[in-house]
Chains A and B, each alone.
Chain A
Amino acid sequence: MSITLDIKLKRVDKVYHEGDNITGVIVVTSNSDFFKHEGITLTAEGSVNLQISSKNVGIIEAFYNSIKPIQLLSITCDVTGSGKLPAGTTQIPFEIPLKAKANQYLYETYHGVYVNISYALRCDVKRSFLSKDLQKQQQFLIQYKPGKNPNPQIITDDSRRITFDLSPASLASGGNGAPDFLLNGEFETNCCNITKPFKGFLSLIKCAVPIRSIELQLVRVETCGCAEGYAREATEIQNIQIGDGDVSQKINIPIYMIFPRLFTCPTLITKNFKIEFEVNIVIVFQDDHLVTNNFPIILVRE
């Protein structure tokens, strides 16, 4: 006797917005004559999980002091009371309105290092005393409706082109040991639509030593509030090479990066935590000398 439980969502991409109804079916397949149960419940849950980096506090503290998750969504509904299901496949359709808990907002799904925002549907089948209960989880994704970002703090009107010139003189270290070089570049905007690629170009005007690689690094900056104050951590999401080898000089090399799903979300600043993003332009010279320039960017969903 085997029983399988599955949740199938109607939307293929599993993406929902706040206020949507999440619809789908619970699929129960059993090959016994009758499948007895003590009731089926369906729960939609969503939470922000915060973790404190071990860099800021001790390892043990980090382990224990992980901050309590912030519940964003918690809806439970009884699908049916105790009863029996016939043999074969039974499909039970459901529909749950997605509504945040009071004083909360359904933030976008995000998988980071110290901050995780995730949503899931959970189906529980309670069974008689001697049998094991059945449980199935199904993740789903939340996205903001285009143009509706929850952060009033972020002024999206501030979007503008960013132009930059990199040379030994512009380095924070004062350019000691750096070869003579000059790099011009431009990002189309500092306020990026998360669904659109990050674009721009750069152009190497001159460089005294051969270049090994020019890279574009996407960095998340996660900040968690905790007892000792704020912990701010910057980690790499991805690193994309845009120039390979000793690139041509005085020629526009396009910068083109697609924001990876799940690992990015619109910039989020709340009172408990922040998720921000930056890009780095990294120039690696032949002798492994490395020059990095940092540009904060704002991600929005438009």
Chain B
Amino acid sequence: MGSNLTEWKTYINADQIITADGIKKGKPLDRISVKDHPLKNVTVTERIPRRILGSQPSTGRTTPVSTPASILEPLSLALNGLDPLTEFALQEMDPLSKMAAEMETSGTQVKAEKTINDNLNSGMQPWSARKASILSKFTTSEKISIVTSFLSEGDKVVVKAQSTAVDKIQHRLEQLDYFEEGSQKKFDLSQAEYIGRIEQLNRELVIAWNSEQRVKALKIAIQCAKLLADTDVLSFYPSKFVLITDILDIFGQLVYERLRTKAEYYKPGSKAAAALPEDFKLEMVPETVKETCLNWFYKIASIRELVPRIYVEMALLKSYNFISNTELSDALLRITDMINGVGNPLVAVYARCYLCRVGLSVTQKNHNNGYLFNNFIGFLETYPQLFNRSVKLDLIKQKVPKSTYMTLYTPALDYILATIACNANENVLNDLLFRATQLGNSSLILNTIMSGFKPSFISDRTVQFLDMIGKCTDDGIPLYALLRTLGLCITICPPPSEQRRQILTTVWRHIVTLQKPEEYISCAEAWVQFVVQNFATREINMVFGDIIDHLTPNRAYENHYKELKAVIQKVLAQIQDFELLLAMDNFLRLIDLFQQESIRVEVCKSVLTQSNSDLKTNDPVVTNALMFLCGVLHDSVNALTPEDEYKQIGEILCNIIRRVDYGRDFEQQLSFYVEARGAFSNIDAVLAQLIQCVNSLSVNTRQIIKGMHTRKTGDFVRACAVYCFITVPSIVSVKTRLQLYLLSGRVALFNECLGQADACFKAAFSIIPELQDDHGKCEIFLVPYIKEFLSTLVVVPDNPERGVLSLTRILLNVLRCFEWNKQNGSLTTIYISVIDMMSTMNQEVYPYHIDKVESNDSMYGSDPKFISEVNNICSILLGEILTQLKEMGPCRRQSQLATELFIRVVTRGDINSANRITLALNLWQLSVKNGYADVKYMARTKNYFQKVAVSKNNKILQQLVDKLNLSQ
């Protein structure tokens, strides 16, 4: 370095102010409130958390992305709500569970909406919504037969050129005959094939219709309807119904639309014929259309078989509007009666269902809907049919159990009842209940009524229902299903308060008798919400105990994790006092039932996120429970855990740690943190959180005693510092460690633990080399970090045993050994900052101090030896910087750095020496001449120095400024 070693001498501010009491103080510097740290590297865009002592603890990660400050960040918000998949699953549920689920999330809101919407169809699930669930629920693996003539490959009747009318008629008749006889085939098909065939029929129908073969279309419709008369595969019937009624709907629509559009309707005042408007009046319908329409009805009235005749007529109901105003309502009532003639009760009930559905779609909203009620009554009147000899034979033949058979009725019955119940009053319910009682408390009817009527009606009569359920004797819908339905109703709308206890005892008496775990748990799941909503801890605890007792034998719980999870979730959603829940004997035992790791973790997670309240706790039982749950989460983390999961768990644990608060019992708090550290050693975020907590504990201590440490508090804060010091190394992330060391060091310093602070700082230096990577990415982090560090080092007093500025020297040595990317000039930037820091150190009074900590200014009192030592270091740095600038070669960065250094030389250095003037000028020249100079910035710099020179009347500076040349 010899020749080009430039000597450095710091300019020491001589303007001292003598205050009244005679103490010299540094002239307060001009203060401008800034948003950025002055030493902050401009390239960093992310916020670098600067630890403000005693502020709210935040986690120790560096980037805001990886470390959500609180649990209420967007990701966790999303997790609190329902994820889309769960929502889909909810849609698949039966209406009550769905309503119940909605209630869970949106409390009373639903009730309010209910009262507002009293339209006819509101509150009723439309048919289209039900279709998908029916199709997925009722399936079969058996062969289904289909008899039809329209499924042959290709049409065998070739359409010949028809010369004469006679030929045409002949051909037509042939064609019809062909459909009529001969070609009807019976296929045995699997379910998928069957559905395919039905779709094919659907297409055929539309094709036939569009190619003017309306008779063929009608015949296809009739054949489809005929399929519905047949229950050869019982368990598939509801699905078959859905598929075929879709075809019939299409057929009905085709006929209606054709009649409507074919009508040549002359609008008043217009001469062009047009289709009838959608909402036509009877008097607008031309005679031709009436005639055509009548023909359709004459045609279908002569269909021989009952079931197809009814179905096709139902499909065409809407077209009655072309003929008369009253025919439609009459037909609805008439068909309702005609269905009495259908002997097979399953076929009959679905026919009724279709009638109600079509009826609702073709009538006005305020139409007299008596037929809906009549249909339900019709079903009730023929209810004994469900047990007649033919059905029994059929069940034996197809090996279908009675209860399964009964469930086949539910979609249709539910729909029919829903059409009645959506705007029915209580009298209707009373009437139906009376009838149900007469039919021996039929389980099927009870179930339908419970799921169909407004839950408020049901829950008002819970006692009555329970009574009826108890008396129900048939083997249709099983007891547990009934109880479950009732439970769901009650969940939505609680029964009168005076009955609740009685209800609970009665219900639980029933539930306890359920021996099969799956039946038991499905009931318990439905009822648990009622219990949680309306009863105190004792009952809830009891219910938990009962669930555990029922599911423990033979490890039955293993098959019911889903239900158990639902139980837990319902409890969590409804529980008023989370702490009481955790304090329950049986709650943790219940959690313990989840033996499968993944589900266990999931449950713990939901419990812990549910506790996402700001409430602090200091109850040891609760804390223990929380720690237990956290332990489960923590133990689930392993090398294979996905990153997100890891983060989420970390976040949850941090949140829990923040919740535990022993108030002013700081020692207890610290020992909790010690325990937590032991328990959660695998997760960085948690350790960081713990260190933050302990640091804030330490700061709080100081704040409380107002900086006057007693022996006890002194020991305590030292313990805190030690805690931090020994915890940091367990963290994997180097950056986090670095920051926490710095923070802990600062806190230790703040608490006058100089030795601990020193140790922290040294430890930080020792791990800087670990940051080393090949791409220089770490420099983005390191530069601002070092700058921040430097600003701390200003006030750190030297250790008398180790010479002047030992910490700074160690730092410089570490940095020199670090392999920097030369082109970035990061080291140069840092060196320039070190020069800044050094010049500060040379001042007689430092700009800031830590209360009760003597910094170097008072220790050395601007001793010349100290100053020359500092200047020495600066000189070496200056030499290094110049070498680096040279190595860098001409580039924009070089120019920038040269300018920066120039500013330092002029402001920080003592420019009374010609040497430094030359240096400054050289630097100026360097930055100008390499062609990358930021001329505007330099001009402003020059301007500034000009002003300074004038105001301070500094001739040397003036001369220097005069020599500064902006052009090359």
Contact = CB atoms under 8 A, between A and B. Distances in A.
Interface of A: 12-13, 210-211, 214, 238-248, 251-254, 256-258, 260-261
7 contacts: A210-B389, A240-B309, A244-B307, A246-B343, A253-B340, A254-B334, A254-B341
A13 B338 CA distance: 30
B298 A245 contact: no
With a 10 A CB-CB cut-off, give which of A12, A248, A254 has the most chain B CB atoms.
A248
A251 B389 CA distance: 17
B343 A244 contact: yes
B304 A240 contact: yes
Contacts of B298: 258, 260-261
B368 to A, nearest CB: 19
Interface of B: 229, 287-288, 291, 297-298, 301-302, 304-307, 309, 334, 337-338, 340-344, 347, 381-382, 384-385, 388-390
Given A13-B291, A238-B302, A260-B298, A245 B342 contact: yes
B340 A252 contact: yes
A210 B287 CA distance: 47
A27 to B, nearest CB: 16
A254 B382 CA distance: 14
Contacts of A246: 343-344, 385, 388-390
Given A13-B287, A261-B298, A254 B343 contact: no
A248 B334 CA distance: 18
A211 B334 contact: no
Contact of B229 (A242, A243, A244, A254): A244
A252 B344 contact: no
A12 B304 contact: no
A245 B343 contact: yes
Contacts of A242: 306, 338, 341
Per CB-CB distance, the 4 closest pairs between chain A and chain B, nearest first, are A245-B343, A258-B301, A241-B306, A243-B341
B343 A247 contact: yes
A244 B351 CA distance: 13
A3 to B, nearest CB: 15
Contacts of A245: 342-344, 347, 390
* Most A C-beta atoms less than 10 A away, residue of B306, B309, B381, B384: B306
Contact of A12 (B229, B291, B342): B291
Given A242-B306, A244-B347, A251-B340, 14 more contacts: A241-B304, A241-B309, A243-B306, A243-B341, A243-B343, A244-B305, A245-B342, A245-B343, A246-B390, A248-B385, A251-B381, A254-B340, A258-B301, A260-B302
Nearest to A262: B298
A217 B525 CA distance: 57
Contact of A252 (B304, B337, B389): B337
Nearest to A14: B291
Contacts of B385: 246, 248
Contacts of A260: 298, 301-302
Nearest to A13: B291
A257 B309 CA distance: 11
Given A244-B343, A247-B343, A256 B338 contact: yes
A212 to B, nearest CB: 9
Contacts of A254: 334, 337-338, 340-341
Contacts of B342: 243-245, 247
Given A239-B304, A244-B229, A260-B298, A214 B341 contact: yes
A239 B287 CA distance: 30
A54 B840 CA distance: 135
B344 A240 contact: no
A186 to B, nearest CB: 14
A251 B344 CA distance: 14
Nearest to B286: A12
A245 B307 CA distance: 10
A241 B389 CA distance: 22
A260 B384 CA distance: 36
B326 to A, nearest CB: 14
B311 to A, nearest CB: 12
A252 B338 CA distance: 9
Nearest to B231: A245
B334 A244 contact: no
A12 B382 contact: no
A243 B343 CA distance: 7
A201 to B, nearest CB: 8
A246 B307 CA distance: 13
A14 B753 CA distance: 115
A187 to B, nearest CB: 15
Contacts of A248: 340, 343, 381-382, 384-385
A238 to B, nearest CB: 5
A21 to B, nearest CB: 18
A17 B273 CA distance: 31
A191 B291 CA distance: 26
A210 B291 contact: no
A183 to B, nearest CB: 13
A211 B390 CA distance: 10
B337 A244 contact: no
Given A246-B389, A248-B381, A248-B382, A12 B340 contact: no
A287 B484 CA distance: 44
A276 B297 CA distance: 25
Contacts of B306: 240-244
A12 B288 contact: yes
A254 B298 CA distance: 18
A52 to B, nearest CB: 26
Interface centre among B309, B340, B342 (most CB of A within 10 A): B340
Contacts of A253: 337-338, 340-341
A281 to B, nearest CB: 13
Nearest to A242: B341
A241 B342 CA distance: 10
B699 to A, nearest CB: 85
A98 to B, nearest CB: 20
A244 B308 CA distance: 11
B443 to A, nearest CB: 20
A239 B302 CA distance: 8
Contacts of B307: 244
A12 B344 contact: no
B870 to A, nearest CB: 109
B332 to A, nearest CB: 13
Nearest to A211: B343
Contacts of A258: 297-298, 301-302
B287 A12 contact: yes
Contacts of B301: 257-258, 260
Nearest to A203: B340
Contact of B334 (A214, A238, A241, A256): A256
Contacts of B304: 238-241
B305 A241 contact: yes
A210 B382 contact: no
Nearest to B342: A244
Most A CB contacts (10 A, CB to CB) among B304, B309, B342, B343 go to: B343
Contacts of A239: 304
A246 to B, nearest CB: 4
B390 A210 contact: yes
Contacts of A240: 302, 304, 306, 309
A179 to B, nearest CB: 13
A231 B269 CA distance: 61
A93 to B, nearest CB: 19
B222 to A, nearest CB: 13
A241 B288 CA distance: 31
Contact of A247 (B334, B341, B381): B341
Contacts of B344: 244-246
A255 B287 CA distance: 30
A254 B341 CA distance: 7
A257 B307 CA distance: 15
Contacts of A252: 337, 340
Contacts of B309: 240-241
Contacts of A251: 340, 381-382
A243 B389 CA distance: 17
